[in-house]
Structure 1
Amino acid sequence: MTPPVSVGVRRVRAHAEPLPLPRYETALAAGMDLRADIEGERTLAPLERLLVPTGLALGLPPGYEAQVRPRSGLALRHGLTLLNAPGTVDADFRGEVQVLLVNLSSEPFTLRRGDRIAQLVVAPVSRASLVELQILESTERGEGGFGSTGR
Structure 2
Amino acid sequence: QACTDSTLIIKPGERAAIPTGLSVEIPEGYEIQVRPRSGLAFKKGLTVVNSPGTIDSDYRGEIKILVINLGSETLEIKHRDRIAQLVLQKVDQIHWEEVVTLKETARGTGGFGSTGLSTPTE
Give the distance between the partners of 1:138 and 1:71, measured in 2 at CA: 39
TM-score by length of 1: 0.75
Give the distance between the partners of 2:24 and 2:105, measured in 1 at CA: 41
Deviation at 1:97, TM superposition (A): 0.9
Structure 1 gaps, min length 5:
1-34
- In the other structure, the counterpart of 1:66 is 32
**1:46 and 2:12 correspond:** yes
Structure 2 gaps, min length 5:
118-122
- In the other structure, the counterpart of 1:144 is 110
Which is richer in strand?
1
Larger Rg computed on CA atoms:
2
Which of 89, 105, 109 matches 2:71? 105
**1:96 and 2:73 correspond:** no
Which of 121, 124, 133 matches 2:87? 121
TM-score by length of 2: 0.92
Deviation at 1:150, TM superposition (A): 3.4
SS in structure 2 at match of 1:138: coil
**1:37 and 2:13 correspond:** no
- Percent identity, aligned pairs only, is 50
Give the distance between the partners of 1:84 and 1:124, measured in 2 at CA: 19
SS in structure 2 at match of 1:43: strand
Deviations 1:50-103 (A, max 9, x none): 110111111011111100000001011111001111000111111111111111
Query: Deviating runs (4+, > 4 A) in structure 1?
Result: none
SS in structure 2 at match of 1:116: coil
